[in-house]
Amino acid sequence: MAANRYHIKIMNEGSSSGLSPNSAIVVLTGAGISKESGLDTFRDADGIWARVRIEDVATPEAFARDPARVHEFYNHRRQGLLADDVAPNAAHRALADLEQRWPGEFLIVTQNIDNLHERAGSKQLIHMHGELLVALCQSCFAETDWHQDLSTETACPKCGAVGSMRPNVVWFGEMPYQMDRIYRALARCGLFLSIGTSGNVYPAAGFVEEARMTAGARTMELNLEPSEGASLFEEHRYGPAGEIVPTFVEELIGGLAPQHGRS
Ligand SMILES: [Zn+2]
């Protein structure tokens, strides 16, 4: 009951959020949110895919053909992620703060394989493209936390198989993780945010339509510049993630604060 009155009160006072505090929020994040933490993006002019071919390092066929090359690529990125100067930025921290303070359901679906959301304190998090700091054994399918380099000589700590270890990342042509759970969340969300994504990698690029068509969700893109899918969103904010995400989170949380002195 109290929650309902709260809802109506916020709506009547013209809160900028236009959301019930009970609404579920789903946030999709991509490489753009980690750029200010010192990690490379993919599809920018200076991004990873401008320097390395996808089909050489990020497909199951590439790994079958030249596993050493693929290991070298991910070893380099793993070392980069573990560098002392790489840390969550204000955008990661703002989302962790929003999760803690938002009364309704909250879920981050990240396309990133870094661990910056976790390090910022996020808990409800799906790594749909896997995790750089986890190794997957192709013999026994055990997943093991992994901070060292991988090679074709690496033995699985669970089953002992040699040469079966790969980064636990979803390559092009493979099925992203936890899609059922993601679509269930999209189908009941009241707000869908897309942060720092290029908007051209499916299935993630289709989440906005799922949220809008199935759930009738409010949809917003927060990005450095309009993505390829920008027209699919009702609202847009452009600028560095470390600036526009904290500002928007403050607006949402501000909409929840008791509105003393207003009638
Ligand atoms: Zn194994």
Backbone torsions φ then ψ of 159, nearest 5 degrees:
-110, -10
For residues 81-104, b (16+ Cβ closer than 10 Å) or e, as one string? Answer: beeeebebbbbbbbbbbbbeebee
pLDDT mean over 128-135 = 98
User: What pLDDT score was predicted for residue 262?
Assistant: 47
Distance CA 117, CA 95 (A): 8
- pLDDT at residue 57, rounded to an integer: 95
| 3-class state of residue 222 by DSSP | strand
- Look-up: residue for tokens 């936390």? 145
- The 10s digit of each residue's pLDDT in 202-244 is 899 999 999 999 999 999 999 999 999 999 999 999 999 999 9
| 178-to-48, 71, 90, 141, 162 alpha-carbon distances in Å | 25, 25, 27, 16, 28
Q: Check residues 55 and 4 and name the one with the higher pLDDT.
A: 55
The answer to whether residues 223 and 195 touch, using CB atoms and an 8 Å cutoff, is yes
The sign of the CA dihedral 236, 239, 245, 251 is: negative
Mean pLDDT computed over 51-69: 95
- Choose among 95, 132, 98: nearest CA to 113: 132
DSSP 73-114: HHHHHHHHHTSTT----HHHHHHHHHHHH-SS-EEEEE---S
- Which of 129, 147, 236, 260 does the annotation list as catalytic? 129
Percent residues over pLDDT 70 in the chain: 90
Which stretches of the chain are DSSP H helices? 2-12, 54-57, 60-65, 67-81, 90-101, 116-120, 179-186, 207-215, 241-254
What is the tens place of the pLDDT at every residue in 92-120?
A: 999 999 999 999 999 999 999 999 999 99
pLDDT tens per residue, range 11-24: 333 334 458 889 99
5 pLDDT higher than 50: no
Mean pLDDT of the chain: 90
Q: Is the pLDDT of residue 30 over 50?
A: yes
How far CA 245 is from CA of 2, 22, 95, 184, 241, in Å, comes to 29, 21, 8, 25, 5
For residue 195, give the 3-state DSSP assignment. strand
Please tell me the predicted confidence (pLDDT) of residue 256. Answer: 80
Of residues 131 and 260, which shows the higher confidence score?
A: 131
Local confidence band at 45 (pLDDT 50, 70, 90 cut-offs): confident
Between the CA of 140 and the centroid of ligand 1 the distance, in Å, is 4
CATH of domain 40-85+130-169: 3.30.1600.10
Q: How far is the CA of 122 from the centre of ligand 1 (A)?
A: 29
- Residue 257's pLDDT band, with cuts at 50, 70 and 90, is low
Distance from residue 177's CA to the centre of ligand 1 (Å):
20
Here the tokens at position 138 are 């192709």
Taking the model in full, what pTM does it have?
0.89
For the domain 1-38+88-129+176-258, what is the CATH code? 3.40.50.1220
**What's the CA-to-centroid distance between 130 and ligand 1, angstroms?**
18
Cα 1 to averaged position of ligand 1 atoms, centre (Å) = 52
Range with the poorest average pLDDT among 30-34, 50-54, 111-115, 139-143: 50-54
pLDDT at 7 over 70: no
Q: How far is the CA of 164 from the centre of ligand 1 (A)?
A: 7
The set of long-range contacts for 229-235, using a CB threshold of 8 Å and a minimum separation of 24, is: 229/194, 229/199, 229/200, 229/205, 230/199, 232/199, 232/208, 233/194, 233/208
Record the tokens describing residue 162, joined without a space: 């040699």
Tell me the domain boundaries of the chain. Answer: 1-38+88-129+176-258, 40-85+130-169
Q: Catalytic site residue 7?
A: no
Per the CB < 8 A criterion, the answer to whether 108 and 124 are in contact is yes
Q: What is the mean pLDDT of residues 167-181?
A: 97
pLDDT band at 199, cuts 50/70/90? confident
CA neighbor of 111 nearest in space, from 61, 172, 158: 172
pLDDT band of residue 40 (cuts 50, 70, 90) is: confident
